[in-house]
Structure 1
């Protein structure tokens, strides 16, 4: 049925392994590379029972998916509806339609995508979580981008942590939870056990997230205020005639003002033949109309599905964030990609305890900080910059490896692989993980 619905030649063994855990009422933590097919694992338990030909369609199983990304939820809901699976994204503008929430609680949709903020709303609690029909039909709760539960669950989006506790408390005992991410370190997994109240009956499906097809480099900023360092992202002017001559590049900034200024700077460097729309700007707090315009421009001008190069301007919120963003490049394993991190010179300072080791990691594990970074954050920085809580084992380990990644004089894939213990995990191979013989409950004979 999964192959038929999603037009797939095969389903991977690990996707079936995650599905089997949910069907056996066991929690599952799934760690697989970006673009590897984690989303399909959310749908498989539903497809094991879902029959679109039945007369009483509202008496079919339901899957609830919690995600921090509004645009992604809308896209995934639309994709499922096009494939004949009733789905709804209860987030953004859709929350204005109270009827959608009520209909979801009454079982009219098979898949519901919700944000953490939606989980904590009194109306959602009344019309969905307290609804007997919904609780009887629900087969699993899935958390997409599971690493953000802890990374964003502090001061940035506290509702993320609160929603985890609320769902576990309001839904039936024994309901399985599936957590998926491409960047789950061992300490982070241990903390998820506590936050999600995961017991002994848990299935760990873990793959290496190594990306040897991505070149990793760190460059020291020379022009942090004028963005002159970004000029090198453009090809030589005598070879730059059209937008397609620029490698498809995704540039991350920690604050909205810097992103706006950098976009203006890059547009000014373009030849007259290339429209300014070749450099698109996106931020989380723009209006929905403007957001759609930007996304449309990105998809037409830059083709987000084929990112060749990812650039990070200044230190990201965490090492896990760095790896997550780097993974946006060359998502097809047969292609080559590049990740460039621009940092200030202060990150190359040696700590007082002594020189860094071979991976650039100091004995105290603390990160050098510039005077500017020690100032109280501005309002825009508080709302757009995310930081790991500094009192957890995962945050401490994250800081050490972030510094190691920056300062190392050897291959930067070494700290990446060590942080995620990739040598202890299964290698991800699209060919090797294909399942040629699907079990009967996932076959579709039509």
Structure 2
């Protein structure tokens, strides 16, 4: 099936092909007609499945065929959780719109940079605005734009926008939007609690759930390597040398860890840099550009890089630190194996986090073999609270002491002290 058969103009169909979409992906096949027909949409599809184009293409078609009686009013608002994702969506919209007979004015706004250039860019209005919630509220407070004409609201990475970290800002934005509008929610993951919140925003939505059985599953080889925490950097250097990866994305748990690991790699002569929330927008943009161009070999990042960053032909992702949740695991490994390419996702598992990785496996319905690399075999043993790997229950259940057990132990200690 072609893009034109979905209701897109030849110019948009050609633009999609130019961006590497030779035929619609599964999520695009389902979402594009639903959006063009005016339905609300709740779409779940794996990372790298073409979700961004699945809503950008019909939004541009709607703008192209819609009334131009009120140009430069914001008809479409796209909310995103990170600066990088906002910038990427803006780039996608501009690339898809570059050969249209007339082009919409597209504004991309996010925090971490001066607000003044963004206010200047919004002079005269904008047709489509891609924004992070906090900066959008700042611009609204400065009367830099209005939302009274918004006809379509998009939440990209909707699960993140609906969680507690963004709940207050999102509520304030929603209160400023017209009550009758089209709502489009896209994400790779929708935990049950978040899905319940999403349903409250939608009016008789078209539900789209693209599972790996519905589309070609990403070709990602997932590996687990057991290693002591103190040996992880040396093991990472060993893997870089033996695999010869041109570029690799390494995930860590904190900003301090990102700087520390990147510094150790740099001291070993490896082209590495850190990416985290304390980096300025200029720094964040530069390190991503350097990784994509090959000037960097290793980007050590916190979960700020787990969503929305699209690095073509990224061969490997390494979980130096395990993610806090199974949802974050999905988003992290989804940075590789994109657009039909193959990739490798490696997780370092030390004894003290073995139980946590079993929980990730349980939630992901995985069971991955453990590997040991010669010269880096772990010396520490897993805590006794971890369930043996062959327990057969597919997950973990900590052998926690009951309240009665704790009281008995306390009584025994007291008795021993008295005697």
- Unaligned regions of 5+ residues in structure 2, if any? 1-8, 298-310, 355-382, 401-419
Shift, 1:310, TM fit: 0.5
Q: Deviations over 1:311-360 (max 9, x none)?
A: 01222121110111111112133x43211111331233454899874354
Change (3 A) 1:365 1:139: farther
2:127 to 110, 124, 131: 110
1:36 and 2:46 are equivalent in the alignment? no
Shift, 1:306, TM fit: 1.2
Question: Using the alignment, how far apart are the partners of 1:325 and 1:288 within structure 2?
Answer: 21
1:206 and 2:209 are equivalent in the alignment? yes
Question: Using the alignment, how far apart are the partners of 1:171 and 1:37 within structure 2?
Answer: 27
Q: Deviations over 1:186-241 (max 9, x none)?
A: 454234324xx335x121111115746212122233243773332322225xxx9x
Change (3 A) 1:57 1:300: farther
Residue 71 of structure 2 corresponds to: 58
Question: Using the alignment, how far apart are the partners of 1:291 and 1:363 within structure 2?
Answer: 40
Residue 395 of structure 1 corresponds to: none
1:127 and 2:143 are equivalent in the alignment? yes
Change (3 A) 1:12 1:261: closer
Residue 160 of structure 2 corresponds to: 148
Q: Deviations over 1:62-100 (max 9, x none)?
A: 211001121332243245345143211122336223644
Summarize the alignment of residues 43-192 of structure 1 with structure 2, pairs less than 5 Å apart.
43-51=56-64, 58=71, 62-81=75-94, 83=98, 84-92=103-111, 93=113, 95-97=115-117, 99-100=119-120, 103=123, 108-121=125-138, 123-124=139-140, 127=143, 131=146, 134-136=147-149, 138-150=150-162, 153-154=163-164, 158=165, 160-192=166-198
Q: In 1, are the aligned partners of 2:252 and 2:319 still within 8 Å (CA)?
A: yes
Question: Using the alignment, how far apart are the partners of 2:232 and 2:261 within structure 1?
Answer: 8
1:327 and 2:331 are equivalent in the alignment? no
What is the root-mean-square deviation in Å for CA atoms of aligned residues?
A: 3.4
Shift, 1:163, TM fit: 3.1
Residue 412 of structure 1 corresponds to: none
1:287 and 2:299 are equivalent in the alignment? no
Change (3 A) 1:235 1:24: same
Question: Using the alignment, how far apart are the partners of 2:293 and 2:230 within structure 1?
Answer: 30
- Unaligned regions of 5+ residues in structure 1, if any? 271-275, 367-446
Change (3 A) 1:128 1:299: same
SS of aligned partner of 2:273: coil
Structure of higher CA gyration radius: 2
Question: Using the alignment, how far apart are the partners of 2:339 and 2:91 within structure 1?
Answer: 24
Change (3 A) 1:310 1:57: same
Shift, 1:177, TM fit: 1.4
* Higher RCO structure, 1 or 2 (CA under 8 Å, sep 6+): 1
Q: In 1, are the aligned partners of 2:109 and 2:136 still within 8 Å (CA)?
A: no
Summarize the alignment of residues 336-351 of structure 1 with structure 2, pairs less than 5 Å apart.
336-348=342-354, 349=383, 351=385
Question: Using the alignment, how far apart are the partners of 1:73 and 1:145 within structure 2?
Answer: 11
Q: In 2, are the aligned partners of 1:29 and 1:180 still within 8 Å (CA)?
A: yes
Q: In 2, are the aligned partners of 1:354 and 1:363 still within 8 Å (CA)?
A: no
Q: In 2, are the aligned partners of 1:120 and 1:162 still within 8 Å (CA)?
A: no
TM-score (norm 1): 0.65
Question: Using the alignment, how far apart are the partners of 2:389 and 2:29 within structure 1?
Answer: 47
